[in-house]
Amino acid sequence: MLKSIPLLLTASLLSVSLSASASSAPERVLLQKLAADSITIKWRYPANETTAEPVCVSAIGQVQQDEPHCAASTITDGGHGEATITGLRADTLYQYQIGDLSDPHFRFRTPADHNALPADGNTRILIVGDSGTQSEPSHAGEAAQVTAGYRAYNTRLGNQEALDLFVVLGDTAYVVGTDQQWQQAFFEVYPDILSSTLVLPTIGNHEMGYGSFPCEAMRMCGDKPAGTLLSYGGLSFSADPNSYDGNRDGRADPNGLPYLSIFSLPQRGESGGVASGTEQYYSVDYNNVHVVSLDSQLSARDPAQMSAMRDWLISDLSANELDWTVVIFHHPPYSKGTNHDSDSVPQRGPVDMPQKDMREQFTPLFEAHGVDMVFSGHSHSYERSYYLRGLSVSSPEMAPLNQYTELDQNGKPDAGRTRPYSQLSETSGGVDDRVIYTVAGNGGKADAAPGPRDNAEQWLRHPAHVPQPTDQLDGGCSSDHGCHHGLAVKGSVVLDADRHSLRARFVDVNGDVLDEFTITR
Amino acid sequence: MSTAMCWTSSRLRVKSLLAICWLLPLHNLSAHEGIASTLGWLDQQIEQAPELQGLWVRRGALLVDDGHLDAAQADLEHARALGEPVRVDCEWGHLQYQRGQFNIAAEALDRYLEQFPDDTRCRRLRAQANVARRHNAAALVDLRYLVEIDTAPNPGLFLQTADSVLAVDASAIEPALAILDDGISRLGVTPALQQRAIALETERHHLDAAIRRLKTLEQVEHRSPRWRLQMAELQWRYGHIEEARTLLISAERDINQLKPTPARRALQQRIAETSRQIAAADG
């Protein structure tokens, strides 16, 4: 099958067989706004050597006789070369060249036309959350383990399915999302994926800079003058991307939020969704899957911005006619993960406030507009909900679980293991109004125990999430009874969408499937 | 658990220069433990260096964020005595805003911004305080400033500014539309801004302008059944009954082909209701 682009997990992809005019290989190559007829390609060489070079794209395979499509490039924010090529064919395999730089692995497949299936009939999506740990020495190598797990899984299945979309759920560059941390934790971990697959990101709290304190307060000035600042990340409560403090001086970085420089996201509807007017949230049509990326880190913290995001979401979902709808954002509305208990947001302050706000303000919209699955990170574990409707309160305020879930043949909440969920179930009243929520913030590290302020008995036991029989904590569990409602291991979520089913699997670092669920239509 | 700690001179604006990072096993600094651990850490620092005004201000600010307003007030009052009082005024303003003391909040923020006019966070706070105390003209000055300097503003900022224009003068629809059109010009045609403009055009009975604006969303919203219903409603009000009927028939036909959702069910009811109203009005 032409579609197959082997998933190579070496970091050497960008450094082999190059005949570049520049003196070295690019340190990053990224595909953006990949649509049926166009693509944006971004790249950057080290040491500010990036120059504006033409980019050419050639179809390979059956339409090889086509003339190459070429476009001039410009140097954009962050020193990236960037070119947009138009006039492409749908569902076609292309190779590309940046200036004189060519490589057999610089290739991508355009998606099929609106709501059509690709030639192989399936859209494969790889989802990782909180994966940016390569820039944390204590977790070096762990994100690569997760990708290796996916590779092992795919190998067992004969490598028959190529990757179509790569989704990252925020906290993709610890600790504060500097450009250097993005380089280390993202571009150097996934070079092969990023140069051949469209990546769809969302903003996490660790993309939003430092808080700062004077060094004299910590007796750590050394020979530095008083006023030198000690800083740490992940606790920004700002709604303003311009407030990003990336150089740790306690003031806004004049270069702004690196996330917004690195990615070129479709704010004007270029990828099929409705124009949002901001790169902080956007949507994409890809084959027969509609993916919405919301901004739970910034926009959700300001009433006017959140209102604008809600209005846009309603317009976007109202215009969406694709078979499947997937929503991503960083802060999970339901979680009992370490240090991120969605029930104790008021006690924990603004870091986790978006968990509550997303649950109360947005989950009703997902249900009203036929969203199928929602994926978040933030908690470094795996949790997956029942097929839910109407749950916008904290778990102590919940009515009996049966009132929110699809029920199995025994009248109990259906965990979706013995049969798939159905968009229009027997009990839904003929409308698609249920959603599965997955927390997958374990793409770069996994928390193995509750935090000091967590209720240990409730840890990984949110009632909206299904018990996990593969739970190995405390010696494992023999049945759903007693099992944690989550898994404290690293891994990724693999999503396959065809015309009639949307199938999700949680795959650990060994390539083993530890949870699986499907929605049919 | 460890957290990366870095420092750099506050005088340096260039990333990575002279930045020194290392790892410290500071369990209580883990970002994932949220604000409470930060407060715990600040407690320790204040114990070690109680003379530092910045620490008291920082703890007071976090306490405001966390809703512990009495404790925050105690910290900020103490901080005021340790250095230049004006350095406390931004957080003092935030505290008073949270208490509902909007006049005191705005006065404190005025003092702060007189000395630190580039602080956009405090400027946003002052705009909120002035909106809350209905000093809308003052709020509008700050919001216009933020719109002006922001190179990648969020649509929400334009909406808030347009609202403030109208709060100052409910009849000032034209200036409010100018703000929204500025946003559309800078961000592209987006429903959040254009729909607000359509609502304003409708309010002042400029239905032709509302229709023109809605037409700019036709492709943006993929001519969805929801868009067609809205256009039908406007066309009907404008007297274009046949256009309205055609749109409603088309919207109803297409929505019946789509996956049923609660939102589409509600839309179907609205389409049916509008069709009935048109039929009744048409005799």
Among partner residues B49, B155, B261, which is closest to A277 by beta-carbon distance? B155
Q: How many CA atoms lie within 13 A of B179 on its CB side?
A: 27
Contacts with A, B 171-230, CB within 8 Å: 183, 187-193, 195, 220-222, 224-227
| B141 exposure class (CB count in 10 Å sphere: 0-12, 13-18, 19+) | middle
* pLDDT above 60 for A351: yes
In the block, residue with structure tokens 């805003």: B97
**B258 lies within 8 A of chain A by CB:** yes
The total of structural domains in chain A comes to: 3
Task: Write the residue in A135, A307, A349 that is nearest to B34 by C-beta.
Answer: A349
**Are residues A70 and A191 located together in one domain of the fold?**
no
Q: Is the CB of residue A48 less than 8 Å from the CB of residue A79? A: yes
pLDDT tens digits, residue range A399-442?
Answer: 999 999 989 989 999 999 999 999 997 778 889 999 999 999 99
Asked whether the beta carbons of A401 and A387 are under 8 A apart, the reply is no
Residue A458 within a domain: yes
Q: Are A432 and A424 in contact, with CB atoms under 8 Å apart?
A: yes
Q: What is the pLDDT of residues A203-217, one digit of tens each?
A: 999 998 765 545 554
Inter-chain residue contact A340 with B32, CB threshold 8 Å: yes
Q: Is B32 on the interface with A (CB under 8 A)?
A: yes
For residue B168, cis peptide bond before it (omega within 30 degrees of 0): no
C-beta of residue A33 within 8 angstroms of C-beta of residue A271: yes
- The answer to the question of residue A115 being in a domain is no
Interfacial B residues in 84-143 facing A (CB < 8 Å): 120-121, 124
Final residue belonging to a domain, choices A64, A80, A110 = A110
Task: State yes or no: pLDDT of A230 exceeds 70.
Answer: no
Supply the CATH number for residue A73's domain.
2.60.40.10
pLDDT the model gives residue A348: 60
Both A168 and A309 in a single domain? yes
The predicted structure's pLDDT at residue A156: 94
Both tokens assigned to B120 = 């956009």
Note the pLDDT of residue B28.
33
In a shared domain, residues A77 and A6: yes
Q: Give the DSSP H or E segment for A177.
A: none
Please indicate, yes or no, whether residues A296 and A318 belong to a single structural domain of this protein. yes
User: How many residues does the structure list for chain A?
Assistant: 521
B253 touches chain A (CB under 8 A): no
A144 within domain boundaries: yes
**Which residues 6+ apart lie within 8 Å of A154 measured at CB?**
A7, A161, A511
Cα-Cα end-to-end distance for chain B: 75
Locate the chain A residue with the closest alpha carbon to B67: A349
What's the gap in Å between the CA of A194 and the closest CA on chain B?
Answer: 25
pLDDT digits (tens, 9 = 90+) for A390-410: 999 999 999 999 999 989 989
Q: Is A440 domain-assigned?
A: yes
Please tell me which of the candidates B54, B66, B156 has its beta carbon nearest to residue A308.
B156
Q: Residue A304: inside a domain, yes or no? A: yes
Token pair listed for A125: 């999506």
* Closest Cα in chain A to B229: A318
Residue A23, classed as helix, strand or coil, is coil
Res A8: pLDDT: 36
Q: pLDDT tens for residues A320-344?
A: 999 999 999 999 999 999 988 999 8
Helix (H) or strand (E) holding A422: strand A421-422
Q: Is residue A152 domain-resident? A: yes
The segments of chain B whose pLDDT lies below 70 read 1-38
In a shared domain, residues A215 and A195: no
Inter-CA distances, B203 with A54, B214, B281, Å? 50, 14, 22
Judge contact between B166 and B131, C-beta under 8 A: no
pLDDT at residue A479 greater than cutoff 80 = no
When mean pLDDT is compared over A137-151, A206-220, A232-246, the highest value belongs to: A137-151
Cβ-based contacts of A435 with chain B (< 8 Å): none
pLDDT at A103: 82
Backbone phi, psi, residue A295, to 5°:
-110, 95
A137 inside domain: yes
pLDDT at B1: 26
Contacts of B155 in chain A (CB under 8 A): 276-278, 305, 308, 312
Pairwise CB contact (< 8 Å): A349 & B66 = yes
Same domain, A369 and A226: no
Cβ–Cβ gap B221/A299 under 8 Å: no
> Are A394 and A421 contained in the same domain?
yes
Query: A345 with A445, same domain?
Result: yes
Contacting residues of B for A138, CB less than 8 Å apart: 2, 23
Q: Return d(Cα A120, Cα A160) in angstroms, integer.
A: 10
Per-residue model confidence (pLDDT) at position A349: 58
Please check whether residues A237 and A218 belong to one and the same domain: yes
From the list B2, B15, B192, which residue is nearest A308 (CB)? B192
Which domain, by its residues, includes A223? 209-256
Selected for mutation to probe chain A from B11, B15, B165, B258 (highest A CB count within 10 Å) is: B15
From the candidates A115, A236, A311, A520, which should be mutated to test the interface with B, based on the most B CB atoms within 10 A?
Answer: A311
Question: Pick from B16, B190, B221: which is nearest to A277 by CB?
Answer: B190
Q: Say yes or no: A394 and A246 in one domain.
A: no
Q: Answer yes or no: do A193 and A77 share one domain.
A: no
How far apart are alpha carbons A484 and A479 in whole angstroms?
A: 10
| pLDDT > 90? residue A54 | yes
Alpha helices in A67-214 (DSSP H): 142-156, 179-182, 191-194
Exposed / middle / buried, residue A470 (Cβ in 10 Å: 0-12, 13-18, 19+): middle
| Residue A226, pLDDT above cutoff 90 | no
Distance CA A54, CA A60 (A): 19
Q: Which of A290, A430, A315, A489 is nearest to A374 (CA)?
A: A290
pTM above 0.80, yes or no: yes
CB A80 within 8 A of CB A44: yes
Using the predicted structure, report yes or no on whether residue A188 has a pLDDT greater than 90.
Answer: yes
The dihedral over CA atoms of A98, A102, A106, A112, expressed in degrees to the nearest 10, equals 70
- Please provide the average confidence, as pLDDT, over all residues in chain A: 89
Q: Does A97 share its domain with A142?
A: no
* A501-508/A382-384 β-pairing: unpaired
Contact B172, B180 (CB under 8 A): no
**Cβ-defined contact of B15 to A246 (cutoff 8 Å):** yes
Q: Looking at residues A76-91, what average pLDDT do you find?
A: 96
Q: How many interface pairs between A and B have CB atoms less than 8 angstroms apart? A: 253
Q: Which residues contact B40 (CB under 8 A, 6 or more apart)?
A: B28
Cα B162 to chain centroid distance, Å, stands at: 12
* 3 state DSSP class of A355: helix
Helices first, then strands: H and E counts in chain A: 8, 25
Structural domain includes residue A303: yes
